Amino acid sequence: MTLFEISVLAKKSPLLAEPKIKSFIEETFHVEVAWLKINISAVSLNSVNGFLGLISGEEFFFKFHAEEGEKETVSEYYRAEFLESSGFPVIMPLYKSTKAGEQFLMYPRINAPTFFEVCDREDRRFLETGAYDETQYESIINAEREACEKTRKIFEQSLHIASSETVTQESIWQLFSTRLCGDQSRLSLFYLQKHLSLPDNTTILFDELAEYTWEINGTQYPENLQTLIESAQKIVHPKWQKEWACVTAHGDDHNGNKFFFPNDDPALVFFDPAFAGEHIPAILAFIKTTFHDVFAHPLWFYSPADREEKIHFSWEMNVQEKKIKITHDISFDRAPIRKALLDIKREFLWKPLVSLLRSKNMLPKNTETFLRLALFCCPFLAVNLINTQIYSPKMSLLGLSKAVEMGHISPYILGME
């Protein structure tokens, strides 16, 4: 059984997947596993993690990431050494397999929460009480600011020009163009020729819905899903530029890939460098952290069932005019800590990056279009938004509306002034 097959099994039945993972570890690393437990986590959308103990008494945190068809599309994951040498605070694995289709990491067991878990608790606290734990709030903000400042310095030091041929080799494209292009892409597997369940117990073919224009919270969005998809296939692609301004980056540094040590320096330590690279396009490097740490909250993306009953949501569909109207109350008013995190990312990452690239004539034309299309890809391709086992019809429409919103995001939010 491949790791991808094991990861699929783990989402359905962790108890059945655990002995498969145990066997993989013992065969790959020649160790004896005494016990192993998968960690059930909302943030583990495309990965599996957990804890294990060896017969020797050592305990580890493990994580692996497996994608459809990765043996054909990815040559190597998990190159953490250059992140550490570049100055990123990153936890190095003690055991690792980087073979295509068998990428697996084992870290010394760390008794610290991820930054995702800490922020998620504060989201839930605010939704219930209307207030944050003030001490926790300040520690979150300080940790985010410190991490962004450190990351900014690294991208300034590592900025360089690379050819599209070089950039194409970076595994970060597995999160974007690979998921969007081809017969075995997530676009094909998740959406094309698939039926979407609607809140009125009817269904519509996704390909038909993709032709509808959207009105969301009173705003008309000119580009429908079909246009956004076709544009992203051309633009969020390594061949879009002959040469790219590139940086060394983690590439997938959302809060689920950072451990939080509030009393240490640094407070945030990275792990799981599955998509890290030395030639990552600068304007792509921070897309994942921007969406997943900010716009995926509160709760609607990662924990839709926990949020559904408390969302004010309505929808109307005009079949003749091919229009859909959505209203919802998912906003920064419901999670002001996310607005604060966005402000820090804009001030300490996006604005300095845009300014630096512009000063060196490295900012591509149509960067604004690239950014909004890359952000569109994040919710649309990270999970199957029309999978009825995860999203109800109401939450599927909300998720698709959020993808449309990302595809039209204001350039100001990302420091484009």
Q: What is the pLDDT of residues 171-204, one digit of tens each?
A: 999 999 999 998 889 999 999 999 999 999 999 9
Q: Which residues contact 250 (CB under 8 A, 6 or more apart)?
A: 83, 88, 90, 257, 270, 273, 275, 276
Q: Residue 305 carries which side chain, given as an amino acid letter? A: A
| pLDDT of amino acid 42 | 74
Q: Which of 55-69, 133-147, 196-210, 368-382 has the lowest mean pLDDT?
A: 55-69
Nearest Cα neighbor of 121 from 252, 326, 260 is: 260
Q: How far apart are CA 228 and CA 379, in angstroms?
A: 13
- CB distance 329 to 312 below 8 Å: yes
Show the tokens assigned to 328. 């919802």
pLDDT reading at 382 higher than 80: yes
3-108: what fold?
Phosphorylase Kinase; domain 1 (3.30.200)
Q: Are strands 323-328 and 213-216 parallel, antiparallel or unpaired?
A: parallel
User: Given strand 313-318, what is the order of strands in its sheet?
Assistant: 219-221, 213-216, 323-328, 313-318
Candidate from 99-103, 179-183, 232-236 with smallest mean pLDDT: 99-103
Q: Give the C-alpha separation, 136 to 142, whole Å.
A: 10
Residue 366 has pLDDT above 50, yes or no: yes
336: preceding bond cis by omega (within 30 degrees) = no
- Give the pairing type, strands 313-318 and 213-216: unpaired
pLDDT at residue 76 tops 50 = no
Among residues 127, 137, 45, which one has the least CA distance to residue 307?
127
Phi, psi (degrees; rounded to nearest 5) at 5:
-65, -35
Distances (CA, A) of 297 to 11, 30, 329: 22, 41, 12
**Section 198-213 average pLDDT:** 97
Q: What angle do CA 399, 383, 200 make, to 5 degrees?
A: 40
Percent of the chain scoring above 70 in pLDDT? 96
Measured at the alpha carbon of residue 46, what is the angle toward residues 284 and 257, in degrees to the nearest 5? Answer: 60
* Sign of CA pseudo-dihedral 330, 333, 335, 339: positive
Biggest distance spanned by C-alpha atoms of the chain: 68
Which of 40-49, 298-307, 320-329 is predicted with the least confidence, judged by mean pLDDT?
A: 40-49
* Whole-angstrom distance, CA of residue 63 vs CA of residue 76: 16
**Structure confidence at residue 12 (pLDDT):** 87
Q: What is the pLDDT of residues 395-405, one digit of tens each?
A: 999 999 999 99
- Other beta carbons within 10 angstroms of residue 332's beta carbon come to 15
Peptide bond into 266 cis (omega under 30): yes
- Enter the tokens of residue 410: 């204001």
Its pTM stands at 0.91
Give the Cα separation of 45 and 8 in Å (integer): 11
The answer to whether 275 and 78 are in contact (CB under 8 A) is no
- Does the pLDDT value for residue 417 go beyond 90? no
* Sequence ranges of the domains in the chain: 3-108, 115-414
Distance CA 227, CA 408 (A): 12
8 Å CB contact between 7 and 88: no
Cα-to-chain-centroid distance, residue 236: 15
What pLDDT, on the 0 to 100 scale, is given for residue 69?
55
Tokens for 49, please give them.
């993690």
Can you tell me the mean pLDDT for 120-148?
A: 97
Residue 160 has pLDDT above 60, yes or no: yes
User: What is the pLDDT, as a whole number, of residue 74?
Assistant: 43
Mean pLDDT computed over 4-20: 91
The C-alpha atoms of residue 399 and residue 210 are separated, in whole angstroms, by 14
CB 397 within 8 A of CB 328: no
65: left (phi over 0), alpha (psi -120 to 50) or beta: beta
The pLDDT of residue 78 is: 55
Cα–Cα nearest to 178, from 404, 382, 365: 382
Helix (H, G, I), strand (E, B) or coil at 53: strand
